[in-house]
Structures are given as C-alpha cells and as structure tokens.
Structure 1
C-alpha cells in the first residue's frame, strides 16, 4: 500500500496513510509488533471511504515501515508516536479503534487528546499487558535474567521468538490504566473473541468493570480468535463503528 512519512522530534520517521474525509476521523491503532497493512486496518480504511469519513493508520516506531528498532521501543514511546502523529495530521473529533496493544494505547490517548475523542472501540484490547501478562507469567529465573541482562526472548505463535526488554516492562508500569480511575465519557465498544488465546476474556471483563462512563458495552463473540479478522467479525466491527459514529454525532 502507498504511504507517506511524518518526521517527528528525535529523528523519528512515522509511516502513515491518511484518507481525507468528513468528521469524525477514524484512527486505527495497531497491535504489538503489527503494522498498518493488516486485515482490520485495510478493511476499516475501505469502510471509512464508503462512509465518507477521514481515516488515519500508521506504524509506531520500530514497527512496519517506520524508523527505529522494535527492541528500543516501549509503550510510552508508542503512545507519544500516536499522540504526535494524530496531532499533526488530523483536526476535529476522533473515533479511536485500538487492536490488542492498540486498545491500551487508545486508553492512554484519552487523557492526552481530551475532548477530541468522540468514541472508542477496543478489539481484543490488552491494557497493562506488559505487567499483567508478560511479567506475571515469567518465572523467577527469567525475571532475574531480564533485570540483569536487560532482555529476554519469548516464543510467539505467529513468528520467531521476539525480544522483551527490561525497559518495556518498566516503562509499561508508567503507563498502566487499570490501577487508577479511567473515565471514558463517550461511546465505548469492546469486542472480544471467546477463542482468543493471547488476551483472556478476563481482561475484557476487568476493563469493563474498571472503566467509568455513560455508554460502555462489551460484546463477546463465540469462537472468534485474537486476530478478529473473519468475515463475520469484520462485519461486526463495521456495524459497531457505524453505531459509535452515529452515537458520537448525536452527542455533539
């Protein structure tokens, strides 16, 4: 797919694709080690085009076509990438659509973007996963090695083992969203598959219980996996986004 580049402070070069359109602008926030060319991002780009809405997708530093090495990055860096890219390329109300780690980043952006956020969709959202999944599941020898050596490799169901750094874990603790009040004063829809082996249903239920807001709903989809990219789940995603756009418009 064709993309452009945005130069940000610190030598960061962010690859992005922006479709101009009406308001609100839909912003897709990808997952851990993913990029903006995935099935969900491409599908939503097409949906937004048909709906006449603006659509922004991009790669965090160390991901996809953007600059930097993955192992040098952390949650706070990717939140900053997102906030600065959105700030530079968009105006007006936003609907944030976060997939997996992107759901965590979307929740962090709420505090940074303020009233610009008109709605939020989490697809297998994974808030606080560096602490509650990665760190929690490490045995003591692995934790000790991570602290002393600064990095360990973990297996993946999708690719070769990848590095987890001490900085990723420590920075993650500075960005946790489930330990302090989380006010979401706009339409929020959480979508989660019952066959997701990467992010447990308990995470979605904890987020639903913890977040505060007038219009927050969780939909569990039987047998859907973490990718959430089947024809049926994409159709659900489209109808959910249409609902959030409509509800957000009613509130303005």
Structure 2
C-alpha cells in the first residue's frame, strides 16, 4: 500500500469515527424535568424502552413519567396523561365544580424546580404565578374577550381541592377546569441549574516618599487581592395553554442570558406569541 493510499485510509477512518461520535440521540423529557439522551428501541401504549449512549442494556420507562420525546430525526411526540384518563363525570364525581365562567382564563401555580437535585420552591412557585398573572392583567386589552380569574379565587379553589404546586402536574386539565370554573388555563414550569465561577484580582500600589536629607526615594508597595464570584442561572421554561381541555399552545424556551431573573423574559415572550394574544 502506497503512502497516499495509507493516508486516504486513515482519513476515512477518522471521518467515520467523527461521524459516529456526532450521532444524534433521542431525548426523553420527563415530567420531573429530567432529560435523558438515549436511543429509543421500542414504544408501546404503556412503556418506552431505550438504551443510553455507549450501552446495550435496554431500560423500560412508563409513559406516565414522560412529558415529551424529541427524536433524533427532528420529530417530537407529546404525552398527555389526561388524554388517557377516565372522564371526570364518570370517574371523579367527588370533584367539586365551581360555576363555569365562559371566556375566563386561570393562571396555575408555576412549579419552580432545581433540576440538579429536583428541589422545588413554594415561594418561587407563587412568585412566578403572580408574575404571569400580572402580565396578563397588564395586557387585558390584548387578550379580549378573555378575562383573567382573580388569583385569590384560583388558589383558594385549588387549596380546597387539595392541589398545590407539587401535585398540579398530576391533575388532569378537565378536572382543573371543573374545579376552577374556567374554560381556559395557562400552565408553566420553570426548571433551572446554577453554576458559579470565581476570579481573583490583585492590585499593586506604591507610596513614594522623598527624604530632604539624603534625597533618597523610598517606595512602600501595597498589594490587595479581591475575590469575585459570579453566579450563572440556566433556565428552561415550559409553557402550555388549554381551552376546553384541549391544548392549544405548547412551547419550551431557554432565555438568552444566564442571569437570575431571565426566566421572566421568557414568560413575557411566550405570552405575547400565544394564540390568545392580539396586537393592538
């Protein structure tokens, strides 16, 4: 084999290795906000079987734990647990029904979860819910003929039904509309991770002193070190809208900036692009 042929063989081998290493994987987005990068082998009505990168062992996952699958081909599939639930009137006659208010939208509590340890914050869940509620009120002219249900009414009805930010995702939308007495619902989730970087800066300063006796110059050097820690927040905002139990809008967005409150910008962006919003 000539040197040229050897070079061509090595080049083809390197290209094949690079292509293999860059092979796209499927992504399973779970309802607890965990993302699993894998290769899906088999799907049924009840389970999804997959294997992790570099492994042949197949793992089975119940579809009730899955929110969405983004396939390597570019296709996405959303899993709606409520769609397979037994109708409320037949299965849950004990669910208290509020008087139905037509063209009314309710803002649900917003689960706010650290995806590293899956810890959720009640304070931030309420803050995010209040932020979205106020944004809708400020743009009430843009969502006409919809009106926004008072937040106290929403939270009071949810509390009476035993529903809070921790189990809100487990309650079918048809139940929530019945409990709240509304025909429109906006639901969001905020998942985040935090990282930090530290830098140290040293400043040198000199104090020059002249002696009149011998004309000598003396310098006293002072060194000061300042440490600075920068926090970075990486968010994923999940945003859904429902009308008469049907999902009419579903988007996921990551803020451009990794700053503490950047999730709020994503909420504003998604609200303005939702089907209930019209420009005035």
* Fold shared, TM-score > 0.5 on shorter chain: no
More helix by share: 1
Higher Rg:
2
More strand as a share of residues: 2
Q: TM-score, normalised by structure 1?
A: 0.33
